[in-house]
Amino acid sequence: MVCDGCRPDESARKDVVKPAVKHIVKQSKTPAAESAPETASFERTPKAMLLGAVLVLLGGVLWGINATVSKLLMADYHADPLWIACVRELAAGALFLACAGVRTPKLLAGAVRDRRSYPMLLLAALTCVLFVQVSYLSAIDWTNSGTATVLQTLNLLFVLAYVCIRGRRWPGLRESIGVALAFAGTVLIATGGDLSTLKLPLVGLLWGLADAACTAALSILPAKLIARWGNLAVNGIMFVISGLVLTPFVRPWASAPQLDWFGVLLMVFTVVGGTFGAYWLFLAGVMRIGSMRGTMLGTSEPIAATISAVLWAGAVFTPTDFVGFVMIIVMVFLVR
């Protein structure tokens, strides 16, 4: 998807493509930002922006459904959060590497040979994959999928803070309103307007905040790596590293839950759709539209979590839910 069709030439290697965040930082009024050359990974044409938005939205939808699926696995099959994280990281990593080996073998080989990328690959694997997976599953386990998505939405604030610090500027009015609407809309959808549902166990709250911080890093840290070596290769390496780190602690072969045919289907979805598909789509979209827009459009996740809860748990929409939908849609038009 991202840079999958071509190998960077030598001039590109000397001047590594800047991550999507730099496009936003460039809007700063400081002299340094005004003089910085713009080297976006993709030309920001309307078509590319639309494609990126669609990819991010689809990734968020898959993540939202995956939250409900994960809750079912933990509640109905007593699957441990660490076991789910370990298994789906290894399996999804294998899928990414297999696709990279077929579609972009030169990029995959280049990423493996480039030892200078190892420290960043390790950091991204631990922060953007392992910590995101473990913290999110633990937040769901201690609270519920709706509350976990609300806490995860706080990643918007982390990303905005990063962008403003790098650009040495204060948030613009549109950004501030957009962030406020995205957060408020997500809270309304996930709680139905009853804020008492946010009275969380301390452990659940801490896991949720950790997940928000790591999810923000997902929009930032892997950008250079993906721009250089492609979505498939980078994701495959990160997921395999993360899964291998968990393996000696989890011992997935010895702690597997008893799954019937439906439980197996849930695990297949959480690997193929909720992990492999979601990460691929989200990161491919972020490279096209930038980290701030990508993270905001990623608020499609709680919407999908709400819809899947309705379909599987018999929940009903309320007027408050529709207000939340409108807030998020308005946010998309504000932050453009």
Whether the pLDDT of residue 27 is over 70: the answer is no
Report yes or no on 19 lying in a domain.
no
Distance CA 143, CA 203 (A): 9
Place of tokens 């400081």: 30
Report yes or no on 177 lying in a domain.
yes
State how many domains the chain has: 1
Domain that holds residue 93: 43-334
pTM over 0.75: no
pLDDT at 63: 85
- Residues whose CB falls within 8 Å of the CB of residue 254, separated by 6 or more in sequence, listed in order: none
Mean pLDDT score, 18-36: 34
pLDDT at 319: 79
User: Rounded to the nearest 10 degrees, what angle do helices 202-218 and 131-142 cross at?
Assistant: 150
| Amino acid at site 331 | M
Sign of CA dihedral 210, 122, 19, 333: negative
Report yes or no on 8 lying in a domain.
no
| Amino acid at site 162 | Y
Report yes or no on 320 lying in a domain.
yes
pLDDT at 100: 94
Report yes or no on 228 lying in a domain.
yes
Instruction: Grade residue 257 by pLDDT with cuts at 50, 70 and 90.
Output: very high
Please, what is the end-to-end C-alpha distance for the chain in angstroms? 23
Percent of the chain with pLDDT over 70: 78
Instruction: Tell which residue, 336, 305, 271, has the closest CA to residue 151.
Output: 305
Report yes or no on 11 lying in a domain.
no
Distance CA 35, CA 294 (A): 25
Instruction: Tell which residue, 137, 108, 145, 106, has the closest CA to residue 305.
Output: 145
Instruction: Tell me the average pLDDT of the chain.
Output: 78
Report yes or no on 63 lying in a domain.
yes
Which stretches of 219-336 are DSSP H helices? 223-229, 231-250, 261-271, 278-289, 291-297, 300-313, 319-334
Distance CA 157, CA 169 (A): 15
Place of tokens 């699957």: 79
Whether the pLDDT of residue 64 is over 60: the answer is yes
Q: Buried (b) or exposed (e) across 178-205, using 16+ Cβ within 10 A?
A: bbebbbbbbbbbbbbeeeebbebeeebb
Query: What is the full DSSP assignment across 4-38?
Result: -S----HHHHHSPPPPTHHHHHTTS-SHHHHHSPP
Report yes or no on 25 lying in a domain.
no
pLDDT tens column, 198-215:
555 778 888 988 998 998
Whether the pLDDT of residue 6 is over 50: the answer is no
pLDDT at 184: 85
Distance CA 164, CA 43 (A): 23
Between 89 and 149, where is the model more confident?
Answer: 89
Distance CA 35, CA 27 (A): 11
Mean pLDDT score, 100-122: 93
